[in-house]
Amino acid sequence: MDSKRLILFIALSLGIILLWDQYFAPKAPPVAATQPQVAQVAPQSAATPGGDAARLASGQRVKVSTDLFDAQIDTVGGDLRELKLKAFDSANDEKKPFELFTDKGGRVYVAQTGLVSTAEPALPTHKTVFSAEQTAYTLNGDSLEVRLSAPEANGVKVDKVYVFRKGSYRVDVRYDIANGSAKPLSTTAYYRLLRDGETPEGESRLTYTFTGPAVYTSEGKFQKASFEDVAKGKADYVKNADNGWVAMVQHYFVSAWLLKPEGGASVCANDKACRFELKENAGLYSAATLVDVPAIAPGAKKSLSVPLYAGPEEYNTLVKTAEGLELTKDYGWVHIFASPLFWLLTKLHALIGNWGWAIVLLTLIVKGVFYPLNAASYRSMAKMKALAPRLERLKEQFGDDRMKMQQATMEMYKVEKINPLGGCLPILVQIPVFIGLYWSLLASVELRQADWILWINDLARPDPYYVLPALMAITMYLQTFLNPPPADPVQAKMMKIMPIAFSVMFFFFASGLVLYWLVNNILSIAQQWHVNRSIERSRKAALQS
């Protein structure tokens, strides 16, 4: 790819991304100064834009440690208030685990559940104070149950049970209901994810990635809603289904209540449709599913369990968890290109066992597929470069008469059988594929903490020594010498400066993305140099014959 078109391509692509992020991407409204009505609240000293943060009321904390989680369950509501993922470092401090759920530091992102009934007795909600059998649990075997008990009300006893399993990011949240009253008991359970609208930890300011609620059903497929649309009541999604999931999505990670886990039955009782609700209340956003519990006869018991997935957007894990959950790796409008490219990347990684070399090999394959198109483009540019001296003479001949200069130039192209657009059209065909590859790498949590070589030990973070971005700048600059210089001296100078200016952006990009661009540039330089040499040899042979 010649430098002018490469630079324009990069500028256009990054410009679109940055402009979209700045002006068009959904922005979360500021956290309201009023206290959330969704739960009891207490003032908190930390402030957020738009007013003082409020946090949920707290009781006793039950700590749970598994091979994948460090979790905290609050006795108020039995909420899952804190969830640290041991396998992933914090974006802000590599010595600390990544914190997915939290209600500290002015932030709110928790998993809540409750039971509601139109008749007596009052059933436990996210405001009810539960009692716990113990305050600390450690997973030693294959599974661990954490049971919390609500105060008995008119003979109805309710326990809330968390089931953690070894090696799994899925947590089953179960209600055990014993109806000791004299009347049948009808109730609806709600399972919801509650969070603020703030930017998640580690979110890049250079590129926009979606943060917000999403719903999946077999009818509507993957439907996401911005916080802004939720706040305005404009969120468009399927509201009733007997399958699917409701989630909160962010870069690299997702939490989702699953109505129909992969390989399991729907939790919707008696084939009734469950309901989805996306709501905003005083700066906090709720993504919830409501499940009707079949009537429980006097003296009978009933259990209802809804799985919660809370973890990384790892493709191989998501496809085994629930139908469509892999779509939370959101590629936007380039999904049709990004999905197969990421699939190929995973196959290459399975073959060679290193994500960095898998990126290199994937770039080689994509470059090979487009080799004929690029060759045609480079041949066109090489021929135009060969005409550069003649163009200079035309410029001297016609001076400032741009009309005659243009006519003479087009006549020369016609005689030499050169299409001025021949170098651009092949590149336009490739742009969606290259953008798709960019987004497939950007959305890949698999690159987080993934080693490549030497000092590159996290392909999702910038190069700590800026070696890859520096090499990227050098390759972009070298490409300018392989192309015909612009006729305008000012443009010629700009073409020398622009590669350095644009390469500054790559100093802040993830190493995996820069690696892809660097390999692509090196291959482009090699191919363009080869084509230029071939054209030059052919031209000399023609002159000698």
Q: Is the pLDDT of residue 51 over 90?
A: no
Q: Is the pLDDT of residue 28 over 90?
A: no
Give the whole-angstrom CA distance, residue 227 versus residue 225. 7
pLDDT of residue 23: 36
- The more confidently predicted of residues 14 and 398 is 398
- pLDDT tens digits for range 160-198: 999 999 999 999 999 999 999 999 998 999 999 999 998
Q: Is the pLDDT of residue 210 over 80?
A: yes
Phi-psi region of 155 (alpha: psi -120 to 50; beta: other; left: phi over 0): left
Assign 381 a pLDDT band (cuts: 50, 70, 90): low
CB atoms under 10 Å from CB of 80, counted, come to 26
pTM comes to 0.80
CB atoms under 10 Å from CB of 184, counted, come to 13
Give the whole-angstrom CA distance, residue 302 versus residue 296. 7
Highest mean pLDDT among 5-19, 67-81, 233-247: 67-81
pLDDT of residue 388: 67
pLDDT of residue 539: 67
Q: Which two tokens stand for residue 198?
A: 């703030």
- pLDDT tens digits for range 278-336: 999 878 999 999 999 989 999 999 999 999 999 999 999 999 999 999 999 988 778 88
In CATH, the architecture of 61-330 is Distorted Sandwich (2.70)
pLDDT of residue 483: 65
Among candidates 302, 279, 301, which has minimal Cα distance to 290? Answer: 279
Q: Which residues contact 542 (CB under 8 A, 6 or more apart)?
A: none
Q: Residue 123 has what DSSP assignment?
A: P
Angle, helices 371-386/388-398, rounded to nearest 10 degrees: 40
Assign 416 a pLDDT band (cuts: 50, 70, 90): low
pLDDT of residue 45: 28
Q: E strand or H helix at 190, and its extent?
A: strand 185-196
Q: Which two tokens stand for residue 520?
A: 């692509």
Q: Is the pLDDT of residue 544 over 50?
A: yes
Q: Where are the domains of the chain?
A: 61-330, 342-544
CB atoms under 10 Å from CB of 183, counted, come to 16
pLDDT of residue 17: 45
pLDDT of residue 92: 82
The amino acid occupying position 322 is A
CA distances from 280 to 47, 56, 229, 239 (A): 20, 16, 10, 16
β-strands 274-281, 240-241 pairing: antiparallel
pLDDT of residue 113: 97
Q: Is the pLDDT of residue 427 over 70?
A: no
Q: Is the pLDDT of residue 543 over 70?
A: no
Return the minimum-mean-pLDDT range out of 43-57, 147-161, 175-189, 253-267: 43-57
Highest mean pLDDT among 380-389, 497-506, 520-529: 520-529
- pLDDT tens digits for range 30-43: 333 333 333 332 32
Handedness of CA 12, 13, 15, 16 (dihedral sign): positive
Give the whole-angstrom CA distance, residue 284 versus residue 262. 30
pLDDT of residue 35: 31
Among candidates 275, 277, 259, which has minimal Cα distance to 323? Answer: 259
Q: Which residues contact 179 (CB under 8 A, 6 or more apart)?
A: 155, 156, 185, 296, 297, 298, 299, 300, 301, 302
Among candidates 385, 451, 457, 468, which has minimal Cα distance to 423? Answer: 385
Angle, vertex CA 432, rays to CA 430 and CA 435, nearest 5:
105
Q: Are 96 and 90 in contact (CB under 8 A)?
A: yes
Assign 387 a pLDDT band (cuts: 50, 70, 90): low
pLDDT of residue 405: 73
Q: Are 387 and 412 in contact (CB under 8 A)?
A: yes
pLDDT of residue 409: 72
Give the whole-angstrom CA distance, residue 456 versus residue 447. 11
pLDDT of residue 485: 58
Q: Is the pLDDT of residue 4 over 90?
A: no
How long a stretch of residues is the chain? 545
Angle, helices 355-369/371-386, rounded to nearest 10 degrees: 60
- pLDDT tens digits for range 331-353: 877 888 888 999 999 999 999 99
pLDDT of residue 143: 96
Assign 144 a pLDDT band (cuts: 50, 70, 90): very high
Return the minimum-mean-pLDDT range out of 82-96, 125-139, 475-489: 475-489
- pLDDT tens digits for range 459-517: 988 888 989 989 988 888 887 777 655 555 666 666 667 777 777 778 888 899 899 98
pLDDT of residue 456: 92
Among candidates 435, 236, 247, 416, which has minimal Cα distance to 324? Answer: 247
Q: Residue 59 has what DSSP assignment?
A: -
Q: What percent of the chain has pLDDT over 90?
A: 47
CA atoms within 13 A on the CB side of 424: 7
β-strands 80-89, 97-101 pairing: antiparallel
